[in-house]
Structure formats: structure tokens, C-alpha cells
Amino acid sequence: MIQDRRDDHGLVESLKQMATKLRRHSVLMTSEAGSGHPTTCLSAADVMAVLFFHVLRYDVKNPSNPHNDRFVLSKGHAAPILYAAWAEAGAFPTEHLMTLRRFDSELEGHPTPRFPWAEVATGSLGQGLSIGVGMALAGRLDGLDYKVYVLMGDGETAEGAVWEAAALAAYYRLDNLIGIVDINRLGQSQPTMYGHDVASYERRFGAFGWHVINIDGHDIGQILSAFDAARQVRGRPVVILARTIKGKGIAAVEDQNGWHGKPIPRGEMLERALQELAVDGDGPQLRVHAPAVDDPAASVPAHSTGSVASMPPPQYQQGESVATRQAYGRALAKLGSVNPRVVALDGDTKNSTYAQEFLADFPDRFFESFIAEQNMVGMAVGLQARGKIPFASTFACFLTRAFDHIRMAGISQANIKLCGSHAGVSIGQDGPSQMGLEDLAMMRAVPGSVVLYPSDAVSAERMVELAANHQGIVYIRTTRPKTPVIYPNDESFAIGGCKVLRWSPQDEVTLVGAGITLHEALKAHQALQQEGIAVRVIDLYSVKPVDQETLLKAASETNNQMITIEDHYLEGGLGDAVLDAVGSTGVRVHKLAVRQLPRSGKPEELLDACGISARAIIEAVKRLTGRAETNDAGASVR
């Protein structure tokens, strides 16, 4: 147990008063809003007062100052006390706190970057520590001495993502990362798993290699000493375990279950609460300390959102066979050579995703995330918050387990790039557990996302460059098998574009594919041409946004008949993207997609069995054009 700083009586009393002010603000603003989580704010008030008004080094008027310490409120439902702390720090007038949760206010129910002092969105519990790991790695990479503080609730430590982050923070020896766990014993509906058994948390974090400090989270002296000690630790991340009381400061709700997410009702109960939280006069005039920088003009990495310099052009021969996943790795390495802000993360799949190409050239900017995809995405969010352009890669199917982190990255409006390799049944014998068949639907659903699906090596390299120059979430889907290079090295691509690869005035149907199915469509085109059946072929390399204009034009010239072909389940993928773009205009979209649970087999067997091979395309075209072969009974022959 840490001893309190008894010699700092004046400071201790001032911070106690500040904690009371933060509690008072939290109660008033949630009561005014008629919703919110005041009791979780009350438990964290003493820690927040010490952290913000004694420990944190932050230029309040300049949140983008690269020397600022970073703070992540992982327990995002405690947003009121975050806003209260920043208001008391001088970020904005305290009167504005009363706009909490209003539609026209940036003080949302859980923090988002609409609030300038929140770099990331939080509130889906268990993600803040991963983000903190990314921020800490960025600080180390840039040679900056800021500390990253992450305040977690005890309930959220039941999330596996917390322990993914804890393991990696220890692996990378992130002594610039300080976690705080507010152990207030009560969750939303019942007591937490370990209640006030602080020793259980101590054993767990200790086993992961963290330096653990155990304190009374309402003793200002102990909190001061804990932060002093934490800043001196070298070679290990630090966690401060603060035993607290939920609802601290209001006798009627202290340590009482059933008050989570409930404001103090107006009337007599609120009046009593405010009396308990009385502050003498205006209270202490404390301010956040600005970071001490020996040389304010010292060179620091740029954190602009400007475009990335052009990459060296692709170097492929048309007709040669190259997997798009391999071209992704080559492009990533090229990208690293033209912009030092580009970093790469991978989930122990780098010899399959070919992210190893980047590792070979830029080992200091490559972060192995091991088999922990949630943490990998969270780290990417933290890295981008500090000005990096992170590319995170793994098998497409494994990104699905990180979807909540991706969803929250969308709310953060994060500038991250994700690459999912080994997409679809075309991976072959590894079987359905390794086949990404839901990823297009998943990524299309993220607000503001871009979804790119290259079909050859040239387009894959260009997609990487497009992703780097786009501000926001970009998903690149790559394929395991080698495919022929179909584009010249100087071919240009654009987000929201597509390519019409085969056309004639006699075209009767438009075929729309991407990735592996584009090559099946090209095979079908060749075979149909020999039979005198003309079809148009479109490479829909931009699945989101789609090129509606080109699709509509093609449909209008091919009897309003379109066939989409995708190595993805029927729901939510390329076919639905096309249908969303043209369906309301009367265009008939016939979707060829994976409609059954696949199994192990050779890629060509699986493509055919799932009805997305050249043969299946040919049959679909013949049915639509009235040329399907029939048996003696008049039924179509497959």
C-alpha cells in the first residue's frame, strides 16, 4: 500500500475541493439532462482531480500539441466527469456543461471526437487500453516523452480485449503507459465479478508483467503518491488499482446497487445531494500544467492529414500470375519508403498477408500484434490518433472478431486501413473456418468506410496508395490464389470507380465481379463470345462507394439485366452494393454468391460448387437470355 503525502496538506485540501466540484458538476449536468451515469463519475472524482490538476501535462488550448500527455476515458459512460474536468481546466465555460446529451451539444452521452479534447470515441467497454497501447507506441516511435493515462472501470476488465492489451503492453515494455482501474464494486445490473477483492486484480495484472500500485481511490494523498511512483517506473507499464465507492459523496446512493445509469431525481433528493457536495465559494483555482518542452521549436513529427507522396509505380507484366495479397505487401513497403507516418500492424499472419515486406524494410515501424485482432485494431486507432497512418492486416475472417473495435473506430472517425486476406471459398482446402465470407457486409456497414477489392497485382498496389491518401477507414480485400495481371502498370484507379473491361454494342447482360470472381467472369465472357452471346464485364473494385453512373449506363445498354458474382455470402456483399445502387431504377440484379456452408476442397471445386464459377455464370446468362438448354420435359439443364 502506498503512503499518502501528508506534507502536502495545502495541495491535498485543494484537490479534495476540486474533486467535490467535479462531483457536483456531474450530478447537476446529469439531472439537467434527465439521463446519464453520475454514480460512476462520483467514484472516479478523486482520481480525476489529481490526474487533471496535478499530474497531467497538457496545453488545454492546443489539444493537438504533440507533447501533451494523453488521456483515454475507457469507461466512457463516465463522460460527465470528463467534461467537468476539462471545463474546470479552462477548455470551455462551466455553464456549457448543462448542455450534456443535447442534440446540439458536443457533450454526448459517451465521448466522441466531436468533443475536441477526446481523441477517440469510447463507451463500448474494454477498448481504451488497446487505444492507449497504440498511443504509447506512437510516443516511443516519435521520441516524445508524454505519458498515456487510461481510466478503466472494474467491470470492463471482464472483456478479453483488456487482457490482449495488457499482454502486449508488457511485451513492448511500455513504461509510458499508465492504466487506472476504478474498482467501485458495482456493475450495471449487479456486483462485478471480483467486487472489492483488489488482490485479484493485483494478481492478474502482475501476472501479465505490469507494475501494480494498490491504493484507496478516495485518499488524495495516496493518489498523489501513486502517480508520483508510476511516473518513475522504467521498463514496464503501470496500473493503479483504486478501490472506490460507487456514488461516493452522496449518502443515499453510496455503494448501492440499482443506481447505474440513473441521474439523481430533481427535488428533495437532489437538494440533499448538493448540500453534501457543497464547495466553499468558487473552490480552488487549479489548472492543468502545460507540458514542459526544453526547445519549443524542436522538430516533431507532422500530424497533418495531408496526402501521401506518390508511390513508385507497379512493375508487373500483363498475363503473369501474382496474388493480390503479395502485391499488397509490396505496395505497403513502397508506401513506407515515401511516408514515415505509415506504420504496419499484423496478427501473426505476416507471411500470409505479406506484411512481412514492410517489416523487412521498416522494422521500427512494424508492430506485431500476435493473435489478438481486437487489440490490433484498437492499437491502430491509438496510433492514428497520434498522426500515424496504420495499416493492419490479417485473414479477412479474423477481422470479424474485431468488429466492435472497427465499429467504434468508425464513431471515432479514425484514419485506419485494414487489409483482409484469404477472402472467400477460393482459399481452398483450409475449409470454412478460414474463409472470409462476411467481411464485405461487415465493412460496408461501418459509417464513412471505403471498401476496395482489387482483382490483380496492379490494382492491388493502386488500392494501397488510394487507401493511404484517403482520410478515414479503408478496407482492402485480398485473395489467396494467384491471378493474372490484367491492367497495365500505368492504369489509374479512383475510390468510387470501376472498370468496364469487356463491352460491345450487342451486349445483352452485364456481369459485375471483383477479385477472384472477376477472372471467372472474364472466362465466361470468352466462352459466351464463342457461342455468339455478347456480355459486358465490369470490375467493381470499389465496392463502397460504388460507381452508380457507370452501372446504370451499362444496365441501360444491356436490357437492364445484371449478374453480380462474389466470393462472399449472399447477404450484404457486392451484390447488395450493386442492388442498392441500381435497384430502384428497375434494373434486375441477379446475385451469384455463396449460399451454403462451404467445405474443404480445391479452389476451383469450391467456386463451382458454390455457383460462382465461369460455368455457373454461363448458365445464368443463358437462362436470362432464353438460351438455356432444356431436357425432353422442358426443364432447364444445369
Give the separation between CA 403 and CA 421, rounded to whole angstroms: 16
Please check the confidence at residue 181 and state whether its pLDDT lies above 70: yes
First to last CA, the chain: 76
pLDDT of residue 628: 82
pLDDT of residue 8: 79
Phi, psi at residue 365, to the nearest 5°? Answer: -110, 15
Nearest residue to 514 (alpha-carbon basis) of 600, 599, 451, 603: 451
Contacts of 297 (CB under 8 A, 6+ apart): none
pLDDT confidence bin for 427, thresholds 50/70/90:
very high
Please check the confidence at residue 637 and state whether its pLDDT lies above 50: no
pLDDT confidence bin for 51, thresholds 50/70/90:
very high
Architecture of domain 499-624: 3-Layer(aba) Sandwich (3.40)
pLDDT of residue 139: 98
Tell me the pLDDT tens digit for each residue of 599-609.
Answer: 999 999 999 99
Please check the confidence at residue 282 and state whether its pLDDT lies above 90: no
- Across 362-375, average pLDDT: 97
3-state DSSP of 388-423:
CEEEEEEEHHHHHHHHHHHHHHHHCCCCCEEEEECE
Contacts of 503 (CB under 8 A, 6+ apart): 536, 537, 554
pLDDT confidence bin for 1, thresholds 50/70/90:
low
- Is 357 designated active site? no
Helix (H) or strand (E) holding 149: strand 148-153
Tell me the pLDDT tens digit for each residue of 438-480.
Answer: 999 999 999 999 999 999 999 999 999 999 999 999 999 999 9
Tell me the pLDDT tens digit for each residue of 212-264.
Answer: 999 999 999 999 999 999 999 999 999 999 999 999 999 999 999 999 999 99
pLDDT-wise least confident of 320-329, 349-358, 626-635: 626-635
Please check the confidence at residue 638 and state whether its pLDDT lies above 50: no
pLDDT of residue 2: 55
- Across 409-432, average pLDDT: 97
DSSP 106: S
- Across 493-503, average pLDDT: 98
pLDDT of residue 30: 98
Of the chain, the percentage scoring pLDDT greater than 90 comes to 91
pLDDT of residue 633: 46
Cell numbers linked to 273: 445531494
Please check the confidence at residue 348 and state whether its pLDDT lies above 80: yes
* Fold: same for 9-276 and 499-624: yes
* Amino acid present at 516: I
Residue of 373, 520, 566, 619 with catalytic role:
373
| CB of 451 closer than 8 Å to CB of 538 | no
pLDDT confidence bin for 339, thresholds 50/70/90:
very high
Domain assignments of the chain as residue spans, ordered by start: 9-276, 321-484, 499-624
Give the separation between CA 528 and CA 619, rounded to whole angstroms: 10
pLDDT confidence bin for 298, thresholds 50/70/90:
very low
pTM comes to 0.95
pLDDT confidence bin for 375, thresholds 50/70/90:
very high
| CB of 437 closer than 8 Å to CB of 597 | no
260-280: b or e for each residue (b if 16 or more CB lie within 10 Å)? beebbeeeeebeebbeebeee
Give the CA distances from residue 524 to residues 44, 370, 513, 521, 638, in Å, rounded to whole numbers and listed in that order: 64, 41, 12, 5, 15
pLDDT confidence bin for 299, thresholds 50/70/90:
very low
Architecture of domain 9-276: 3-Layer(aba) Sandwich (3.40)
| CB of 369 closer than 8 Å to CB of 376 | yes
pLDDT of residue 279: 87
Q: Where are the alpha helices (DSSP H) in 233-372?
A: 268-276, 324-338, 350-353, 356-361
Give the separation between CA 586 and CA 588, rounded to whole angstroms: 6
Please check the confidence at residue 346 and state whether its pLDDT lies above 60: yes
Please write down the long-range contacts of 605-612, taking CB distance under 8 Å and 24 or more positions apart: 606/425, 606/426, 606/428, 607/425, 607/426, 607/516, 607/520, 607/567, 610/425, 610/567, 612/425, 612/517, 612/520, 612/565, 612/566, 612/567
Nearest residue to 69 (alpha-carbon basis) of 270, 291, 221, 222: 291
Architecture of domain 321-484: 3-Layer(aba) Sandwich (3.40)
Please check the confidence at residue 631 and state whether its pLDDT lies above 80: no
Tell me the pLDDT tens digit for each residue of 134-179.
Answer: 999 999 999 999 999 999 999 999 999 999 999 999 999 999 999 9
pLDDT of residue 280: 80
DSSP 50: H
- Across 384-390, average pLDDT: 97
- Across 176-187, average pLDDT: 97
- Across 520-548, average pLDDT: 98
- Across 300-326, average pLDDT: 81
pLDDT of residue 4: 54
Computed over every residue of the chain, the mean pLDDT equals: 94
